[in-house]
Amino acid sequence: DAGVTQSPTHLIKTRGQQVTLRCSPKSGHDTVSWYQQALGQGPQFIFQYYEEEERQRGNFPDRFSGHQFPNYSSELNVNALLLGDSALYLCASSSGRDTQYFGPGTRLTVL
């Protein structure tokens, strides 16, 4: 049984560019949450998707947007990248509000 998968593993972008990160949830899970983890910090909640709709959002600007597809996979889009967006982006899947299982993350570097 495959766990949560994310792509790409690493990504390097320059300021002002746009980026799309992808996540496939664990089999049987219908909910996807995205987190940003800066170096040395705990993950910070960005938003959560369920039934293809954003159900809850953290304190992140509108530059951060997402999408969930009918097969429950999800994308995170970040526009107008800033240096401060450099971080490990984590996707977690769950069945509703049950335990969240995390993927390996995508390391984004903004130059």
For the CB of residue 89, give the shortest distance to other proteins in the complex, in Å: 10
Interface residues for other proteins in 85-104 (CB under 8 A)? 88, 90, 92, 94, 96-97, 99-104
Residue the block writes with tokens 């983890």 = 37
- Do the beta carbons of residue 75 and residue 60 sit within 8 Å? no
- Do the beta carbons of residue 92 and residue 79 sit within 8 Å? no
Q: 45-84 mask for other proteins (x: CB under 8 A)?
A: x--x-x----xx-x--------------------------
Distances (CA, A) of 94 to 47, 49, 56, 60: 13, 10, 14, 22
Task: Give the 3-state secondary structure of 70-81.
Answer: CCCCEEEEECCC
- Would you say 35 or 64 has its CB closer to other proteins? 35
Binding site for other proteins (CB under 8 A): 4, 6, 31, 33, 35, 40-45, 48, 50, 55-56, 58, 88, 90, 92, 94, 96-97, 99-105, 107
